[in-house]
A and B are shown apart, each in its own frame.
Chain A
Amino acid sequence: MDQKILMKNEIGKLYIELAEEYNFYAPVKEKGNIVFKKILNPDDIVLEYFNSKVPPKEVLFPEMEVLFEYSLDGKDVEIQDRQDLDEKNVIFGIRPCDAHGFALMATFFTAHGDCEDEIFMKKRANTILMGIGCNEPKSTCFCTSLGGHPFQKDDLDVMLTDLGEKYLVETISEKGKTFIQKLKWLADAKKKDVQQAQELSKKSEESFVTKLDLTDIDKILDPNFEHPIWKEISDICISCGTCSYLCPTCTCFDVIDETDEYNNRGRRIRIWDTCQSCLYTLHTSGHNPRNSCIERCRNRIMHKFSYYPKNYDQIGCVGCGRCVQLCPVNNDIRAILTKIKNIEKEEEISA
C-alpha cells in the first residue's frame, strides 16, 4: 500500500491532471443538495459534506440510460450500440458505504442468468473509486451494523482520509496503485499522518449512534413471511419510490422504446423503477402478485435482508441511512429491522 499526501488546495491540480483522461465526478451542491456530478470547474467541488442526497450509483447507473439506439427504414431496422462505455471515470469523494453499494450492484448484475449487465460492468471496470472515509458519521448511519466501517477500504481503489488541510492518500487496489503512481507530485505521507488517520478512524467508529444487531436476520425473516408484522410495517407507507431511488444498492429498472416518429429513429432506454410501485409487478391480465403495500414493503426488506444473503451470502443494505432521513412518512428501516428482530424475542418469551 502506497501512502501519499494530497493537500486540499491541490484538488484543482488533481482535477486538471485527471480530467484529460477521465470523466471526473465529485460532490457538488445543486439547489441545496449534494450530488455527484461530472466536474467542469474544480471550484465547484464540495469537500465538506456528510454524503450525497442521491447516491453516486447514478454515475454508473443513471436514472435514465440508453441501452441502444435504432433507426427505422421501412421494414428494416438498424441498431447502434453504445459507443461510450470505454470512457474512463474517477469518482472522487465517494463514501465507503456507497462504494460497497457498487460492489453489491456488481454482484447482482453478474449473478443471474448467463450474461452480465455489460453496460454497468464495463463502466464499473473503467472507473476508479477515490473514496473519502467518514470522520463524522451521521446519527442515521449504520454501516457498522452491516459489517461495514466508516473507513472501509475493501471496495475502493484509493482511500482518502481527511486530516484537516490535507488528505492521507492510500492505494488499495492494483488499479488504484497504478493510478496514484502516475501522480508523481504527491508527497509521501509521514508516520504521524498515518497515525492521525488511524485515530480518526477509531474515533469515528466509536461515535456511531445507531447500532443494530442484524445477526441471522435472514433466518428470522424466512419463516415469518406471513407474519402480521408486515401489515404493521406497511401501515403508513405511501408507495413512493424515495427509498429505492435513493438507495445505493437498488438496481431495478423499466425498459421503454422512445421513437421520434418524424425522423424514424429512437432509443431503447432503461429508467429507474421501484418495487414499491403497484405497477411494477402488474400483469397485463390485471393479476398482481404484489398488489398491496404489505407485499411491496415486505419485498423490499426481504430482498435486502433475506434474498441477498440466500443468493450471495451477504446483506443487500449498506447502512447509508438515506431512506431513514428521506422517507416521506418516516417509515424508518432501523425501526422495521428492530421490530423483525423482536419477533424472535417475543417467540422466545412465549415459549
Chain B
Amino acid sequence: MPNPYIPMLTKVKNIVSENKVNDIKTIELEFKNQEDYKAFNYIPGQFAEISLIGKGECPIGIASSPTEEGSIKFTIKKMGTVTSEFHNCEVGDTVGVRGPCGNGWPMEDLKGKNLVVIGGGFAFSTLRSLVLYVLDEKYRKDFGDITVIYGNRDSGEVLYGDVLEEWEKRDDINVVLTIDREEEDWTREVGFVAAIVKKVAPSPDNAVAVVCGPPIMIRTAVAELEQLGWKDYQILNSLEMRMKCGIGKCGRCNIGNKYVCVDGPVFSLEELKKLPNEY
C-alpha cells in the first residue's frame, strides 16, 4: 500500500470566478498522470483533500460530476489560509489531490426515487455534481422527478449560472431559484429557501430530499419538509467539520463514534439524530 498522505498531482486547467464579490472560484484540475485520473473514481457528494504544495491542504467537496470527463472541479470560497492561497493560484499551477474521500450521496439508494435538491448559497457544489449526474443521458432514466430549489442572498451570489441556464431549458427537471430580497430584473422567486419549500410543497411519496446550506437554512427547510410529511430517513445532509487527513486518521472530525471524513460527510437526518449533538 502506498503512503496515503502523498497527493496525486494535477494542473490547474481553468479558473472561474463564480460570484460578484469574487470570493468564490471554481478551479478545474487536470491530472498530470492519466493512471491517477482513472483511479480517481468518485460519485457525487464526495470530497477530496486538495493542496497547494508548500501552502497547505484542505478538504473541499467535488463540484464536478463523474459524467464530466477529463477533469475535476472544486468550488472554493476564500475563508482561511489555504483557501485564500487557492484564490491566488493561476492556470498551470500544480495542485495536489488526495481522494476521493467520504461516502458521497447514496446513488444506488436514490435510484427509482423522486429527488428534491435543496441548496443555499455556497454549499451548492456537491449538489451541482449530483444534479449533473442524474441529468446525464446515461442515468436520467434511473430517477423519477427532479426538483431543485436553490436560494441565495442576492443574484450576485448565484453559482454556476451556465449549468443553471441549461437546466432551466429542460423539461425533465423543475428548477426553482430564489433570492432573499427583491431585485430589479430578477424574474424568479423571492424569499428564504424554507418559504419556497413551503410554496413548492414537494411530495414525500417515493422521494428523497438532499439538503445543503448554512445551518439556519437547513433547520428551517427541514422543518418545512417535516410539515409536508417527510420522514427523517428521506432527508439527506452533508456535514462540514474541521479535517486534516480526510482518511480517518487525524482524529478531529468525529461526531460521537463516527468520523465525518469516512463515515460521512453524507448522513440522513435519521442517522444524525442518533449521533450526539456535537457538530
Contacts and interface: CB of A to CB of B under 8 A. Distances in A.
Indicate if A touches B (C-beta under 8 A): yes
B217 to A, nearest CB: 14
Interface string A292-312: 000100010011001100110
A310 B257 contact: yes
A108 B85 CA distance: 33
Contact of A289 (B55, B79, B241): B241
Contact of B3 (A70, A81, A256): A81
Q: How large is the interface on A (under 10, 10 to 19, 20 to 34, 35 or more residues)?
A: 35 or more
| Residue with the highest number of chain A CB atoms closer than 10 Å, among B3, B55, B57, B255 | B3
Given A76-B94, A77-B9, A118-B2, A111 B248 contact: yes
A259 B51 CA distance: 14
A255 B244 contact: yes
B278 interface: yes
Given A118-B1, A281-B252, A283-B242, A113 B257 contact: no
Interface in A231-283: 251-257, 259, 266, 268, 270, 273, 275, 280-283
Contacts of A182: none
Interface string B39-63: 0000000000001011111000000
Contacts of A281: 241-242, 252
A195 interface: no
A284 B6 contact: no
A81 B6 contact: yes
Interface residues of B, number: 46
A76 B249 CA distance: 29
Given A75-B93, A116-B1, A283-B242, A255 B250 contact: yes
Contacts of A254: 244, 250
B43 to A, nearest CB: 14
A79 B279 contact: no
Contact of A77 (B96, B240, B241, B257): B96
Contacts of B79: 284-285
B161 interface: no
Contacts of A268: 5, 51, 53, 57
A295 B262 contact: no
A82 B80 contact: no
A329 interface: no
Contacts of A77: 9, 53-54, 94, 96
A115 interface: yes
Nearest to B279: A289
A72 B53 contact: yes
A337 interface: no
Interface in B218-275: 240-242, 244-245, 247-252, 254-257, 259, 261-263
Nearest to B98: A115
A112 interface: yes
B124 to A, nearest CB: 17
Interface string A111-146: 111111111000000000000000000000000000
A109 B1 CA distance: 14
B54 A70 contact: yes
B70 interface: no
Nearest to B259: A112
26 contacts: A68-B3, A70-B53, A75-B94, A77-B53, A77-B96, A79-B6, A79-B53, A79-B96, A81-B2, A81-B3, A109-B249, A112-B263, A113-B247, A115-B247, A253-B245, A254-B244, A255-B56, A255-B244, A257-B57, A259-B55, A266-B54, A268-B57, A280-B242, A289-B278, A299-B254, A306-B257
Given A113-B261, A115-B247, A289-B279, 12 more contacts: A67-B6, A77-B94, A108-B249, A112-B248, A113-B101, A118-B2, A255-B57, A255-B244, A257-B53, A268-B5, A270-B5, A289-B255
Shortest Cβ-Cβ A-B pairs, 8 listed:
A112-B248, A252-B251, A307-B257, A284-B80, A113-B262, A113-B248, A67-B5, A259-B54
Interface of B: 1-7, 9, 11, 51, 53-57, 79-80, 83, 90, 92-94, 96, 101, 240-242, 244-245, 247-252, 254-257, 259, 261-263, 276, 278-279
